[in-house]
Amino acid sequence: MDVTAHRFLVLLIIVLLAIGNGKKSGSRFTNLKCESYNISFAKFETCKLNVLGRGVIGSNIHLNLFQVPIHSVSINWSFWRRYSGYKPFLYNSTLDFCKFVKQPKKKSFEKLVLDAITSRSNLNHTCPYDHDIIVDNLVFNDKFLQTLPLPQGDYKIQLRFASDNIWRLQVDIFLLRDE
């Protein structure tokens, strides 16, 4: 298996974690940070983790959009691992979100990410976006990691969003992979 295919497989499985059924897992969200680069464009009303049950952590985000409608969205997704600070690990990709939502590739990593997020959010349509963005209790579940040799450790998933080719937002999701 070549390096690109291996990286794709690892990230595919990590994204599938969010689709899990919410049962207790050894891996979990540990922190969530949201940043708006321009609060006249958008502001995070909510960016927090909630304990939903024993060992079950849900992420909640409410983003107020002030310059709607938004017709152009790009997303950069990167995966990091902590070794004396967070270092790039496996994956870094940018795509046109609006184009992708209109015509998703059926077996792509990004399609699985989109499916996981839309199951717990109001991002279930294509551009334009003329409303606030809400993610409600998105749960990390590691049952898919049990067969993958992803080592224990601290990880960060960084999502950066652009509109009209200007980077506007960043969301950092911190995970602990435990056995």
State how far the Cα of 126 lies from the Cα of 34, in Å rounded to an integer. Answer: 23
Does position 112 have pLDDT exceeding 80, yes or no?
Answer: no
Residue 108: its pLDDT value, please?
64
Does position 67 have pLDDT exceeding 90, yes or no?
Answer: yes
Q: Would you place residue 134 in the very low, low, confident or very high pLDDT band (cuts 50, 70, 90)?
A: very high
Average pLDDT over residues 94-113: 78
Residue 33: its pLDDT value, please?
97
φ, ψ at 92 (rounded to 5°): -155, 115
Does position 115 have pLDDT exceeding 90, yes or no?
Answer: no
Does residue 159 contact residue 170 with C-beta atoms inside 8 Å?
A: yes
- Percent pLDDT > 70 in the chain is 75
Q: Is 149 exposed, middle or buried (0-12, 13-18, 19+ CB in 10 A)?
A: exposed
Does position 20 have pLDDT exceeding 80, yes or no?
Answer: no
Does position 64 have pLDDT exceeding 80, yes or no?
Answer: yes
Does position 124 have pLDDT exceeding 50, yes or no?
Answer: yes
Domain assignments of the chain as residue spans, ordered by start = 3-177
Better-scored residue on pLDDT, 145 or 108: 108
Which residues, listed in sequence order, are joined to residue 154 by a DSSP beta bridge? 176
Residue 178: its pLDDT value, please?
75
Lowest mean pLDDT among 41-45, 63-67, 112-116, 158-162: 112-116
DSSP calls for 106-167: TT-HHHHHHHHHHTTBS--S-S-B-S-EEEEEEE---GGGGGS-PPSEEEEEEEEEEETTEE
Does residue 159 contact residue 59 with C-beta atoms inside 8 Å?
A: no
Tell me which range, 9-13, 18-22, 33-37, 78-82, is most confidently predicted by mean pLDDT. Answer: 33-37
Candidates 2.70.220.10, 2.60.40.420, 3.40.1670.10, 3.30.300.30; CATH matching 3-177: 2.70.220.10
- CA nearest neighbour of 86 among 30, 153, 26, 36: 153
Residues found in the chain: 179
